[in-house]
Amino acid sequence: MTSAALNKKIESGSRYWRSKKYGVLLYQGDCLGVMSRLEAESFDVIFADPPYFLSNGGTTCKSGARVSVNKGKWDKSRGVEENHEFNREWLEAAQRLLKPNGTIWVSGTSHVIFSVGFALQQLDYKILNQVTWQKPNPPPNLSCRYLTHSTETLLWAARDRKSKHHFEYAEMRARNGHKQMKDVWQFCAPGKREKAHGKHPTQKPFGLLERLIAASCPQGGRILDPFNGSGTTGLAAVHHGMEYVGIDLDDSYLELTKKRIQDGVPGDAPALRVSA
């Protein structure tokens, strides 16, 4: 296959791995190309951790050393207008795929989340909550010219103003000592156990994804992640007995996802609920 033909195949998307045992379907390709071919109104929940557009020569601290934050071409900024247009495009594609009462979660830092919030409003989503993920173990700020960055934001939105979104109020209350759960959630960054098969530069902790799925997805629901990454969303979906579809350009991350799902849920979480 020529490089041009391969690029065209990746852009439109090709099936990478399907497991009836786990209820998982992974696609390799551009998210917009794959999403355009998926059935409308077929997902209860979408979780998305889109590019932060940070790979522009900056640095951060890792294990006490200064390291580059460049993650790859997919994370390079194309300018404010183009970055926002991209966010609007994929959010519009996601809106088509949500069921009438479906919801979407989008994670991001200040570099991208304001664009996402504006695009959600432009598309007439109904924003339900702004959840703050607080990290008790953030990397230090090397320049000493800013407050240490220790949070990320998750926006939770219903498909439109008429949506009667699903929320497991009683479950969230029970998990919070029988008090209403607040919109600040504390989770450590993924540890060694969650990175046993490899890692992704923006990998999210299993506990974070497990909680948001438990809060917002009805029993037997279907979940999509258009920026699959290391597959934590898929792992949490399988844990709850949900069907999962993940999309990523990089086959190495899809292979990582496959290994993680086959290996099981990390840490002290209950065993996987696997259907025959």
pLDDT tens, position by position, 237-256? 999 999 999 999 999 999 99
pLDDT at 264: 85
pLDDT tens, position by position, 18-47? 999 999 999 999 999 999 999 999 999 999
* Coil vs helix vs strand at 129: strand
Query: Taking residues 128-141, what's their average pLDDT?
Result: 94
Asked whether 217 and 240 are in contact (CB, 8 A), the reply is yes
- 75 backbone dihedrals φ, ψ, rounded to 5°: -105, 5
- Estimate to the nearest angstrom the gap between the alpha carbon of 249 and the chain centroid: 14
CB neighbours of residue 106 within 10 Å: 26
CB neighbours of residue 110 within 10 Å: 11
Asked whether 77 and 85 are in contact (CB, 8 A), the reply is no
pLDDT at 143: 87
* Residue 53 banded pLDDT, cuts 50, 70, 90: confident
Rg of the chain (C-alpha set): 18
Mean per-residue pLDDT of the chain? 88
Look up residue 146 and give its two tokens.
């800013």
Question: The whole model's pTM is what?
Answer: 0.86
* Confidence check: pLDDT of 228 > 70: yes
Q: What is the CATH number of domain 9-263?
A: 3.40.50.150
pLDDT at 189: 93
DSSP-assigned beta bridge partners for residue 60: 67
Query: Taking residues 152-176, what's their average pLDDT?
Result: 98
- What is the identity of the amino acid at 121? Q
Q: Which residues does 139 contact at the CB level (< 8 Å), separation at least 6?
A: 60, 61, 62
∠239-244-245 over CA atoms, to 5°? 150
Query: Taking residues 113-132, what's their average pLDDT?
Result: 98
Map out the domains of the chain as residue ranges: 9-263
Q: Which residue has the higher pLDDT, 168 or 65?
A: 168
- What percentage of the chain has pLDDT greater than the value 70? 84
Q: Which residue has the tokens 């601290």?
A: 61
Q: Which residues does 227 contact at the CB level (< 8 Å), separation at least 6?
A: 31, 48, 49, 50, 51, 247, 248
pLDDT at 155: 98
pLDDT at 268: 44
